[in-house]
Structure 1
Amino acid sequence: MNFVMKAAMGGAGKDVGKMLGGEEEEKDPEAEKEKEEERQEALRQQEEERKDKYNKMEVEREKVRQGIRDKYGLKKREEAEAEAAAAAEQVAEGSLTRPKKAVPSGCGDDDEEEESIMDTVMKYLPGPLQDMLKK
């Protein structure tokens, strides 16, 4: 019945109840706090459930990936990269021609300052032109 009244009156249903002698709702700040805390707790719980679900799915995916690796004799990306780095270090240890990455900083051509293009061009110009461009 109340629904029919509200539907017929539109948004004025609340006011009609007050006019007919209905009690006006008192807003309790503690009740609102409790509702907010319950809402926050529900959100936290939903977030935990979502994370648990995601972690379970990730574990299942890793099992499938490991099955494929075992079947085809593949290695994990991290293991493959570590082996490649170790192999590069072994090659570089006894070699006189180390790869460029293995050259420590401070050795070789890195100490020289690179010249700008303008400095390079200035070297090849005749003296009077150099003086004119320097001004």
Structure 2
Amino acid sequence: MNFVMKAALGGAGKDVGKMLGGEAEEKDPEAEKEKEEERQEALRQQEEERKDKYNKMEAEREKVRQGIRDKYGLKKREVVEAEAEAAMEQASEGSLTRPKKAVPAGCGDEEEEEEGIMDTVMKYLPGPLQDMLKK
């Protein structure tokens, strides 16, 4: 019978009781505040537990990393970067401008590349056309 009632009303069975004069639930603001505070506290505790777990895992990873560094004689990345920066600063101590960056290979050699392209194209052309283009 309940099934037929729910199907007919589409899930509005709770509201029917209120409409007929049944007991209406009174919302207690204090109870709602307490529930909200408990929920917030639970969220804070979960967040703290998650952070503690993360810190513990990160500490374990760092132990493994340090073991590998010790085994193979590697330096920490931060130390290596600091030494590289110090070397760059020493190289540019006497100049007023920043140090020049190395020019990548191929930059500024455009004429040579064009000649290389022409040579490549010439290889695929028949003999008489090559003679005409060489002149």
TM category (shorter chain) comes to: 0.5 to 0.7
- What displacement does 1:39 show? 0.8
Secondary structure (helix, strand or coil) at the match of 1:21 reads: coil
Q: Tell me which residue corresponds to 1:77.
A: 77
Give per-residue Cα distances to partners, 1:92-128, cap 9 Å, x unaligned.
6699999559999999999999999999999999999
Q: Gaps (5+ residues) in structure 2?
A: none
What is the Cα-based RMSD across aligned positions, in Å? 8.6
Cα offset, 1:30, TM superposition:
0.9
In 2: Cα distance, 1:127 partner to 1:41 partner: 87
Question: How far apart are 1:91 and its partner, in Å?
Answer: 5.8
CA-CA distance at 1:40 after TM superposition: 0.8
- Per the alignment, residue 99 of structure 2 pairs with 99
What TM-score, normalized by structure 1, do the two folds share?
0.54
Equivalents in 2 of 1:56, 1:47: separation in Å?
A: 14
- Equivalent residues of 1:92, 1:102 under 8 A apart: no
Percent of residue pairs identical: 90
Q: Structure 1 residues 27, 41: closer, same or farther in 2, change over 3 A?
A: same
* Deviation at residue 59 of structure 1 after TM alignment: 0.4
Secondary structure (helix, strand or coil) at the match of 2:105 reads coil
SS of 2:27 mapped into structure 1: coil
Measure the CA separation in 2 of the matches of 1:100 and 1:110: 21
Q: Which runs of 5+ in 1 are unaligned?
A: none
Partners in 2 of 1:61 and 1:130 — Cα distance? Answer: 66
Q: Distance in 1 between matches of 2:19 and 2:35?
A: 29
- Residues 101/33 of structure 1: CA separation in 2 closer, same or farther (3 Å cut): same
Q: Normalized per residue, which structure has more helix?
A: 1
Q: CA deviation at 1:24?
A: 2.5
CA shift, 1:13, in A, is 3.8
